[in-house]
Amino acid sequence: MATVLTLDRDALQLAVLASLLKHEGHRVHATGDPEAALAILQSAVIDLVIIEPATQRPDGLRLCQQIRQLNPYRPLMIVSERADEEQIYRMMMVAADDYMIKPLSPRLFVAHVHALLRRAEQVRGQRWQDQNVAIGEISLNLQQMHAVVNGERVALTPRELSLLHALMENANRVLSRDQLMRVAWGDRFVGTPKAVDVYVQRLRRKIQPHLTSGFYIQALRGFGYKFEMPRPQPVAS
């Protein structure tokens, strides 16, 4: 199950796409407003964007580029009535990962969505293996499965490491417990959102003693958690 943002000013088309996606078990944010779509992308974890650029004024291509800049790894699908080769070439070269021409075949649309999500999952897994993350006093060594806090090595379980990695990759963004479970542990994780609270407490016990200031993972009651750099403490005169 993924979270998909669909953007189309044609309300009927938007409803059809949302219905197809929900039938496959995906969560859907549907809007006809480009500004609202950008706001959603900046505040929520979105796995796939589907956009009809021809109806977005003044420049659908520029909007696609803005969406791509927010997250270059997130797949972007174009659905459009325009079937001319130049349009498809420009979109695929500059912004899009896939291009489908209206009217859509529901079965082919679903197959393309699944293919994009599968490819994105593979890329995400490869990035997780290849990339270390460091913010402030905390750095993660993803290959050796541990954190380094102020020069001190802290052993983490795979699930603790995945959770901390998800938070650090989304620094300064509030993530709900459901979002954290999905981003950190995948859709196949069996458990309740309370599991996030348990693992955050485990991270606190392991990491807090090595920090010179407050813990980086901030709890926001009723919302979720955020990885936030603590403000430096003023030096006493």
CATH number assigned to the domain comprising residue 171: 1.10.10.10
- Whole-model pTM: value is 0.60
Domain hosting residue 32, numbered range? 3-127
d(CA 41, CA 170): 12
173 and 206 in a single domain? The answer is yes
In a domain, 71, yes or no: yes
Give a yes or no: residue 237 inside a domain: no
At 85, phi and psi to the nearest 5? -60, -35
Domain boundary among 62, 94, 127: 127
Percent of the chain with pLDDT over 90: 30
Q: Are residues 38 and 20 part of one domain?
A: yes
Does residue 83 sit within a domain? yes
151 and 74 inside one domain: no
Q: Are 166 and 148 in a shared domain? A: yes
Assigned domain for 236 exists: no
Domain count, the chain: 2
Same domain for 196 and 170? yes
- From residue 187, how far is each of 9, 26, 118, 169, 178 by CA, in Å? 31, 11, 12, 18, 10
Query: How much is the mean pLDDT over the chain?
Result: 84
Residue 217 lies in a domain: yes
The answer to whether residue 201 sits within a structural domain is yes
pLDDT at 233 over 60: no
Do 13 and 121 belong to one domain? Answer: yes
Rounded Cα distance, 89 and 73, in Å:
20
Strands (E), 55-188: 76-80, 98-101, 133-135, 138-141, 146-149, 152-155
**Residue 16 shares a structural domain with residue 57:** yes
Residues 73 and 183 in one domain: no
Is 82 among the domain residues?
yes
Mean pLDDT of 199-211: 89
Of 104, 127, 150, the last residue of a domain is 127
- Domain match, 42 and 85 both: yes
Note whether 90 and 77 are same-domain residues.
yes
Give the CA distances from residue 224 to residues 6, 147, 217, in Å, rounded to whole numbers and listed in that order.
25, 23, 10
Confirm whether 233 is domain-assigned: no
57 plus 96 within the same structural domain: yes
Range with lowest mean pLDDT among 46-55, 109-118, 122-131: 122-131
> Tell me, what's the pLDDT at 58?
52
Q: What is the pLDDT of residue 230?
A: 59
- Note whether 119 and 137 are same-domain residues: no
Most confident of 4-18, 115-129, 183-197: 4-18
Report the range out of 50-59, 92-101, 116-125 with the highest average pLDDT.
92-101
